Amino acid sequence: MGMFSMRSPRRFHHEYIYANDRKQRLEEIEQRAKTSLEQATEHSQVEDLPRDADRFRGAFTPHNSHLHRRGAAYDVALGSRVFLFVALLLFMGYVLLKLFGA
């Protein structure tokens, strides 16, 4: 009897191409944070600002901070370290050849 049964129509589902709900929610959260911060700075004194900065330090780090390179904190780049190591090895070889070589 499946031949004579009426199928129900498919439900309509439309995804917006040019609207981003997540972005709008994030903007609303940012606006609320800004207004609450402005109200807090109006009521606080100038002396309290450094302690507030210490309290919020690192609060806005990206969620994927574990993906950053670990060596990025060093001032000397990897290429220059390799160059210095090779130069040191060549200098030591030169000195050893002059001392013990012919």
Count how many domains the chain has: 1
Asked whether residue 45 is assigned to any structural domain, the reply reads: yes
Q: How many whole angstroms separate alpha carbon 59 and alpha carbon 36?
A: 16
Average pLDDT rounded to a whole number, residues 10-30: 88
Asked whether residue 7 is assigned to any structural domain, the reply reads: no
Asked whether residue 93 is assigned to any structural domain, the reply reads: yes
pLDDT for residue 10 is more than 60? yes
Q: How many whole angstroms separate alpha carbon 78 and alpha carbon 30?
A: 38
pLDDT recorded at residue 34: 92
Asked whether residue 69 is assigned to any structural domain, the reply reads: no
Q: How many whole angstroms separate alpha carbon 52 and alpha carbon 84?
A: 43
**Amino acid sitting at position 81:** R
0.75 surpassed by pTM: no
Q: How many whole angstroms separate alpha carbon 62 and alpha carbon 65?
A: 6
Domain limits at 46?
21-59+76-100
- pLDDT tens for 63-82 read 666 666 555 555 567 788 88
